[in-house]
Amino acid sequence: MDLQRLSELSDADLDSLYAPGSLPWLRVNMISTLDGAATGPDGRSGGINNAADKRVFQTLRRLCDAVVVGAGTARTEAYHDVSKPLVLVGRSGHVPDRLRDTPAGSVLMATCEGAEALDETRALLGADNVLVLGQQRVDLARLKSVLAERGFTHLLSEGGPHLLRDLVAEGVADELDWTVVPRLLAGDHPRITAGPPVDVPLQLALLIEAEGTLLGRWYVGEHAP
Ligand SMILES: NC(=O)c1ccc[n+]([C@@H]2O[C@H](COP(=O)([O-])OP(=O)(O)OC[C@H]3O[C@@H](n4cnc5c(N)ncnc54)[C@H](OP(=O)(O)O)[C@@H]3O)[C@@H](O)[C@H]2O)c1
């Protein structure tokens, strides 16, 4: 496989290089430093991303039908962009503050039967936009198929680490897009996965370089277009 130079790629090239596989397709986009830190000194992924990562991030956003994000990430990163439908995944069902005043249908919540904020979230987002998909945890395979039935067949997850781990463990993630920035941070930072052990092989499909930043496209397990 040839190493691609980001500076030589147009936006149309990126759209083609990152074309999704057979639908429904779910990919997860994550970033870390060379020593594995998934957050910067500010405790957010924004503390380590750079222009190269932003270009691929924007490509993946442009291509997807909807963005799926863990409630922890939506809270920490103060998510508020709903230019693509945003699907929150959380056991408690709480909608973060910055997403409470969004147009109807722009935010969906995937949660569990006993979610403490279920009634409030149904009132806030509309009952059709609250997906109850499990008792103690969200059944992520069902989430993928329910979203596909709604026309969201190409899904982009932006993490975070617990959600990535669960998506991989449950065989729901088809692809990982991982940016490695040329920095070392040491200290205590999460990795791009968190939670109980998993052991899933990945197949490298694409590698792009930009001034030492590596942008990889990997298929998860046996998933391939
Ligand atoms: N480097 C990167 O690419 C990247 C990407 C994203 C986030 N981050 C960083 O990661 C940190 C957040 O980590 P995190 O692990 O807490 O993020 P996370 O996976 O987004 O959030 C965990 C929360 O999401 C919900 N959740 C996840 N999986 C679930 C499942 N299968 N079923 C039901 N609910 C589920 C739960 O929410 P409830 O608590 O509501 O039940 C859980 O507490 C932040 O510092 C953020 O900046 C880094």
163 close to ligand 1 (CB < 6 Angstrom): yes
Between the alpha carbon of residue 130 and those of residues 108, 115, 163, 174, the distances in Å are 6, 11, 18, 24
* CB distance 144 to 24 below 8 Å: yes
| Residue 39, ligand 1, Cβ within 6 A | yes
Atom of ligand 1 nearest to the CA of 32: 1
User: What residue type is 63 in one-letter code?
Assistant: L
Cα–Cα distance, 84 to 192 (Å, whole number): 23
Dist. CA 111 → ligand 1 center (Å): 13
pLDDT computed for residue 1 by the predictor: 78
pLDDT surpassing 90 at residue 223: no
**What are the tens digits of pLDDT across the range 62-93?**
999 999 999 999 999 999 999 999 999 999 99
Contact 166, 201 (CB under 8 A): no
Q: What is the distance in A from the centroid of ligand 1 to the CA of 160? A: 4
pLDDT in tens, 98-107: 999 999 999 9
Whole-prediction pTM:
0.97
Tens digit of each residue's pLDDT (9 = 90 or more) over 137-192: 999 999 999 999 999 999 999 999 999 999 999 999 999 999 999 999 999 999 99
CB 54 within 8 A of CB 98: no
Residue nearest to atom 29 of ligand 1 (CA): 163
| Closest C-alpha to ligand 1, atom 47 | 44
Output the CA 90–ligand 1 centroid distance in Å.
8
Structure tokens at 91: 């056991």
Instruction: Check: CB of residue 64 under 8 Å from CB of residue 29.
Output: no
Length of the chain measured in residues: 225
Give the chain's mean pLDDT. Answer: 96
- Residue 199 in this model has a pLDDT that exceeds 90: yes
Q: E strands within the chain? A: 4-5, 25-33, 66-70, 86-89, 107-111, 130-132, 154-157, 175-181, 202-210, 213-220
